[in-house]
Structure 1
Amino acid sequence: MESRTYGQRPATSRSSFDDSVDRRHSSLTKWPDMSVEEGLRDGRPMRSPGVHSTAELFYEAQPPKQQATHPLQRIKQMCTRFPWRDMSWMVGVTFTIGSAFFIVNGFFLLLPLTNPSTTFDSELYWTGTTGIIGGIIFILGGFAGVLEALNLNRGGQVTVIEGITVDGDTSDMEFKSDEEAVRQNNKLVAPFRDSTMDLPLRQNLPSRTNSPNSSAPNPNSITTATLPALYGSSAFIFWPNTPQLRTIFFRDLCFIAAIIQSIGTFIFMLAIITAFPGVLDLTNVTVFYLANLLPATLGGVLFITASVLQMITTQPNWYTPRPLSVEWHVGFWNVIGSIGFTLAGALFYLGTTAGSIQASGASLWGSFAFMTGGLLQWYVSMKNCR
């Protein structure tokens, strides 16, 4: 009979143990071979150290990088390339052209007060006409801004982020709910979004039904893109559905700022229309204050709010400015221009000649500031050319 000694482990060779470890290691899913610094430099979404989640990142290919061109080359592109399907470009161009008309309008308002000898017969009509043209272009720019916010990071090549998370032990796997998956991913990738951040807007929400070993595209994933969707492309949208509004866009400062600015353009346009000769009797002080000055001032306040939010989206947090960032200066100069437009309406409430001169001057320098912001937006949008 064979004798057996208990309490003693069977002898195994070191080489066989190493082989079993190697086989086990080769069967596990490998993480992308990249460092944190490389991921941040390439614009890939990285997780913060405090978040203990093992959602895996699978890159189908290197995400498309925005054009890193020399500033002079990008300025040349502004004059030679016209990517009208890109809403970021459309916003910059429309606000630049609209501001040019408001600059002319500001001169027509200011010159009769500072140099009455320059007055001519049809000056009032030219003043009103330039204001109406500028206002219409601003409305188009506001609408383009909403489309820009809706289609940021929806174009270009797609990156897939797996929708399975593991907290703690690897045996405790669970799927996140659809809304929680979107919210968590938004929070990890970009707390404040601008055109250079990777916020997932093209999404396949997690599913509990499909097998992870299926050869079909994995439905348990959220896909991201790094470029704006172009008008006419399959990824371009004019308005999101209700779940997208609730889980993504109502939490997105870019979208909120665009909506506020678009509303402000319509209110500001009301003041421009009522100021056109013959529309209302502006010699009536009550009508002048309520129908002209009030919408002009309110529209300017909405412009300020939208521009501040736009500036915050480019910052690491709400109180830290980024004066070395061109994107930050877009919002900054829009804030200056918005203040000028607000004062152009508010200072007329003083009812004095000095107040009228200052209000007309504010309209002029505010238009110049808005043009600066529009030109910078135009410049920034050229990096999306592809």
Structure 2
Amino acid sequence: MEKQLKPNSPSSATSILKNVGRMFTSYPIWNISWVVAFIYTIGSMIWVLNACFTWLPLVAPSSEFPNEILYGGGITAFFGVLVFEIGSYLLVVESVNAEQTTYFGSAVKQLFGYGLTNPEIIIHSTGFKEPFIFTQKSTIKSEVGRTITTIEKIEWIWFPSWKAMRTRHFYDLAFLSAISQLLGTSVFCISGITGLPGILNHLSRPLTAAIYWTPQTIGAPGFFISGLLILLKNQKQWYKPALKTLDWHVGLWSVFGGVGFILSPVFGYNPATGFHSSLSTFCGSCAFLIASLLQLYGSLKETTSEI
């Protein structure tokens, strides 16, 4: 049975510091959990930078450079939402491959035809739209010298079928959280495009409200719902916070981030409250960055899911 560490014990503190150090020195790109967390961390950093471009000139006008909000804000928002879209899709992939996240590297290499990362793993593909089948072989020699081969088949799924979603995944809070994040980000992408320089500055006020602020209003609740589902997934009782569980804190900060991104377009419809809109984006981005860093920490944690 896995040993649980007490939060305030010396061994726990040592483990935490060691794992924090690994965040800067370890890059397990074969593990999709780490890849998702890393992508979200980069995306959150871009959004924090975006908020600085749009909010700082309102706080300290003397620091503003020409077209800072239009170009700095517009371009970083586009790349920020693009990175989040990639991360959100991979989060869905992670949720449907929850039991074999470390096979991600082999699946990617097989997908692009670069061979295998582990010579003991054989991957078969039954077609572009079909899941990958991993066959892991282990050889055991008996006392009489005979060789016994055991075969374990593992499915790697890039695109879950509708039947699988309807019969299994829709009952999984992790999958629902990932889908909510993906749908919200996909709608948010519209604002990422319409906010680019050359588009946003040529839109009338009604059109700006329709195709720039409204997609944010529709998409941002997806972030909030996603974080809320993570909270519920990690609570043994729906009303009892799981304060010692790392993933619960990831969900909590994701909820805070979702609130920030919900308030941003609410204030954004009125040009007079542009300061509050940019401040909401900044606070939401910082909350998502904290959630992403906790997620990155958790993807490297070796001992326990508790803190």
Q: TM-score range by the shorter chain?
A: 0.7 to 0.9
Matched residue, 2:208:
288
CA contact (8 A) 1:282 1:288 kept: no
Gaps of 5+ in 1: 1-37, 44-67, 157-201, 203-216, 218-222, 224-232
CA contact (8 A) 2:257 2:285 kept: yes
Deviation of the 1:348 alpha carbon: 1.5
Point out the structure with max Rg over C-alpha: 1
Matched residue, 1:358:
276
How many residue pairs get matched?
248
- TM value normalised by structure 1: 0.59
CA contact (8 A) 1:337 1:366 kept: yes
Deviation of the 1:234 alpha carbon: 4.9
- Of all paired residues, the percent bearing the same amino acid is 33
SS in 2 for 1:70: helix
Matched residue, 1:136:
82
SS in 2 for 1:85: coil
Deviation of the 1:345 alpha carbon: 1.1
Matched residue, 1:269:
189
Partners in 2 of 1:384 and 1:138 — Cα distance?
Answer: 26
Please give the root-mean-square deviation of Cα atoms over the aligned residues, in Å.
2.7
Matched residue, 1:83:
28
Matched residue, 2:293:
375
The answer to whether structure 1 residue 328 and structure 2 residue 223 are counterparts is: no
Partners in 2 of 1:241 and 1:274 — Cα distance?
Answer: 32
Per-residue CA deviations over 1:301-350 (Å, capped at 9, x if unaligned) read 1110111011111110222111222110000001101111111111122x
Which amino acid counterpart does residue 204 of structure 2 have in structure 1?
N
The answer to whether structure 1 residue 313 and structure 2 residue 263 are counterparts is: no
Which amino acid counterpart does residue 79 of structure 2 have in structure 1?
I
Instruction: Identify which of 297, 301, 307 aligns with 2:217.
Output: 297
Larger deviation, residues 304-313 vs 240-249 = 240-249
Matched residue, 1:248:
168
The answer to whether structure 1 residue 94 and structure 2 residue 39 are counterparts is: yes
Matched residue, 1:126:
72
Partners in 1 of 2:259 and 2:228 — Cα distance?
Answer: 11
- TM value normalised by structure 2: 0.74
Gaps of 5+ in 2: 5-12, 103-132, 134-148
CA contact (8 A) 2:234 2:248 kept: yes
CA contact (8 A) 1:155 1:235 kept: no
Per-residue CA deviations over 1:244-300 (Å, capped at 9, x if unaligned) read 323321111111110110111111121121111221456522211110111112111
Partners in 2 of 1:366 and 1:260 — Cα distance?
Answer: 17
Which amino acid counterpart does residue 107 of structure 1 have in structure 2?
C
Instruction: Identify which of 105, 112, 129 aligns with 2:50.
Output: 105
Matched residue, 1:183:
none
Distance 1:379 1:293, change over 3 A: same
Distance 1:384 1:269, change over 3 A: farther
Which amino acid counterpart does residue 292 of structure 2 have in structure 1?
G
Partners in 2 of 1:273 and 1:252 — Cα distance?
Answer: 32
Partners in 1 of 2:96 and 2:302 — Cα distance?
Answer: 16
SS in 1 for 2:156: coil
Partners in 1 of 2:84 and 2:14 — Cα distance?
Answer: 29
Partners in 2 of 1:282 and 1:301 — Cα distance?
Answer: 28
